[in-house]
Chain A
Amino acid sequence: MFEVIEWFVFIIGLILITIGAICDLAGALGLVRFPNFFVRLHAATVGTIGGAVIPLFGIALVSAVSSQLGPFRWTVAGGAVIAAFLIMIIAPAGSHALAYAAHKAKVVPVEPKVCDLLEEHEKRKAKGAEKK
């Protein structure tokens, strides 16, 4: 019974690692092929959340049932889970900071644009400062 559960967890971990590899390749292709920075952010998020968080959870599952690591398998599983949670918090925060900085410093043109509320807000604020 216990061996069946271990085998099941092992297969689920391998499936998660495979999904991560496919997402990673898709994210890298998008990062090369997409036309400008704000569109590339989308592909980068596929590459970080799909390509780094999911395979780290898979590594944690696989290492928790691999007996050749001995008692150190919990070291590997714990480290992988901690790294996965850190990346899950860090990657969106970092890409939001980069997008805000690129918009504010006007490094790249905001190019498929329907309406830009942040730019309008800053213009309104500058006008208000001039009136005072």
Chain B
Amino acid sequence: MLDIYLPIIFAVFLAAFTLYIIRIVKGPSVVDMALAVDCLAFDLAVFIGLLTLYFNTPFLIIGAIALALWAYILDIYIAKYFVRREVGE
């Protein structure tokens, strides 16, 4: 059941990734690019979870947590740079 159904979901997620990458390349301002990278990182976390189910390898899911936190750090640093004009400690 999962072997047949998950590739369809993979196709939808890959289409969404392509659209996000179009926005990252095209993005007129830096905040647009940061927003698109943010969405892409959260969706990659979900994609890692789906790959865990597809390949039956349970330790892939640990990467999803680190990926979500990394996207948050990117957001906070870009926002802090724009408000204070410095990156900070």
Interfacial residues, chain A to chain B (CB-CB below 8 A): 10, 14, 17-18, 20-22, 24-25, 27-29, 31-32, 37, 40-41, 44, 47-48, 51-52, 55-56, 59, 62-63, 66, 68-69, 72-73, 75-76, 79-80, 82-83, 86-87, 90-91, 93-95, 97-98, 100-102, 104-105, 107-108
Note all chain A residues with C-beta closer than 8 A to B53. Answer: 59, 62-63, 66, 76
B interface: dominant SS = helix
Contact for B31 among A10, A14, A73, A101, CB less than 8 A: A101
A41, B50: Cα distance in complex, Å = 26
CB–CB B58/A72 < 8 A: yes
**What B residues does A51 contact at CB under 8 A?**
16, 39, 42-43, 46
Given A55-B49, A72-B58: A90 and B68 interface contact (C-beta under 8 Å): yes
- Count, A-B residue pairs, CB within 8 A: 168
Most buried by B among A25, A75, A79, A82: A79
B-side residues, CB < 8 A to A, are 1-2, 5, 9, 12-13, 15-17, 19-20, 22-23, 28-32, 34-36, 38-39, 42-43, 45-46, 49-50, 52-53, 56, 58-59, 61-62, 64-65, 68-69, 71-72, 75-76, 78-83
Across the interface, A28 reaches (CB within 8 A) one of B20, B28, B34, B82, namely B20
Is A32's CB under 8 angstroms from B23's CB?
A: yes
